[in-house]
């Protein structure tokens, strides 16, 4: 079943095309990576998918329903979760309270508290549950955002640069968690760490200058001459990070 479909998505900023006529098909249960050089339009594209950016043209369909004109909070209610490229936590609330705000979209009372405990345990932040979110290290704030996404129980979870700021050990834990989540959740992952992409993604979509340059399995993408020229070849050191 195709959970998400985008057709002809286009967005301009001050006359420049950030996204140009992008088509995307994402089957239910897949881990899809979205890669490309800086400025390729990746964050704008997921903003269009999640409802945080309005398109100039094109259509977004989620679970067979046209959601193109629905605001972000309505798409969340339908089962889309999104973690930001820049951390977006409530710094003066505790770690548990941040996750609780997300959990209460689906649970109340004791059930919500259990949801919070489970989400924090899955990302390794149980010991920091009572700490102020603003006091966490950057990498741990990223994990907190992931816990908030998990607590929403989304059908589609969009992750924008989730491993930025994480240690090698935390990245390994993140990979394990994503494989576990993929049993029940479709994942769309923006990621510059090509080792993570190769380890997790079943298919990769490559953006360049707002357009889809290539799409395929990790092996197909690594062998694609156009991708090598536009991204992997020109940014090989960055791609290995």
Counting Cα atoms < 13 Å in the Cβ hemisphere of 121 gives 6
Cβ contact 232:239 at 8 Å:
yes
First to last CA, the chain: 34
Is residue 207 over pLDDT 80? yes
* Sequence-ordered strand ranges (E) for 65-210: 65-66, 80-83, 156-160, 186-190, 203-208
Question: In this predicted structure, which of 13-22, 51-60, 81-90, 117-126 has the lowest mean pLDDT?
Answer: 81-90
Cβ contact 186:156 at 8 Å:
yes
Predicted confidence (pLDDT) per residue in 134-154, tens digit: 999 988 998 999 999 999 889
Phi and psi dihedrals of 147, rounded to 5? -60, -40
Predicted confidence (pLDDT) per residue in 34-63, tens digit: 999 989 999 999 999 999 999 999 999 999
Long-range contacts of 121-124 (CB under 8 A, 24+ apart): 122/147, 122/150, 122/177, 122/180, 123/147, 123/150, 123/173, 123/177, 124/170, 124/173
Query: Cα–Cα distances in Å, from 141 out to 20, 131, 227?
Result: 32, 11, 32
Domains recognised in the chain with CATH numbers:
2-79+154-240 (3.40.50.300), 91-152 (no CATH)
Output the pLDDT for position 241.
Answer: 36
CB atoms within 10 A of CB 106: 13
CA-CA-CA-CA dihedral for 204, 234, 44, 25, to nearest 10: -20
Is residue 192 over pLDDT 80? yes
Q: How many angstroms separate the CA atoms of 173 and 237, rounded?
A: 23
The stretch 21-35 carries a mean pLDDT of 97
Going by C-beta distance under 8 Å and a sequence separation of 6 or more, which residues neighbour residue 168? none
In which band, very low, low, confident or very high, does the pLDDT at 232 lie, cut at 50, 70 and 90? low
In which band, very low, low, confident or very high, does the pLDDT at 89 lie, cut at 50, 70 and 90? confident
* Token pair recorded at residue 149: 């996404």
Output the pLDDT for position 106.
Answer: 75
The rounded percent of the chain whose pLDDT value lies above 70 is 94
């Amino acid at each position: 079943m195709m959970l998400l479909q985008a057709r002809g998505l286009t967005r301009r900023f001050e006359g420049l095309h950030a996204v140009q006529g992008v088509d995307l098909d994402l089957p239910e249960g897949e881990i899809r990576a979205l890669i490309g050089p800086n400025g390729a339009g990746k964050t704008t594209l997921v903003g269009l998918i999640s409802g945080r950016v309005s398109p100039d043209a094109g259509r977004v369909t989620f679970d067979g329903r046209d959601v193109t004109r629905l605001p972000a909070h309505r798409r969340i209610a339908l089962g889309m979760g999104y973690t930001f490229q820049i951390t977006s936590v409530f710094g003066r609330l505790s770690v548990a309270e941040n996750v609780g705000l997300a959990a209460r979209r689906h649970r109340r009372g004791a059930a919500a508290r259990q949801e919070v405990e489970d989400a924090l345990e899955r990302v390794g932040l149980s010991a920091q549950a009572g700490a102020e979110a603003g006091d966490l290290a950057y990498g741990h704030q990223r994990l907190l955002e992931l816990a908030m996404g998990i607590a929403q129980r989304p059908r589609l979870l969009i992750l924008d640069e989730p491993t930025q700021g994480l240690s090698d050990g935390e990245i390994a834990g993140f990979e394990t968690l994503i494989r576990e989540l993929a049993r029940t959740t479709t994942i769309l992952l923006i990621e510059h760490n090509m080792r993570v992409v190769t380890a997790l993604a079943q298919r990769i979509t490559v953006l360049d200058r707002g357009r889809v340059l290539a799409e395929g399995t990790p092996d197909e993408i690594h062998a694609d001459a156009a991708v090598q020229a536009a991204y992997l070849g020109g940014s090989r050191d960055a791609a290995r990070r």
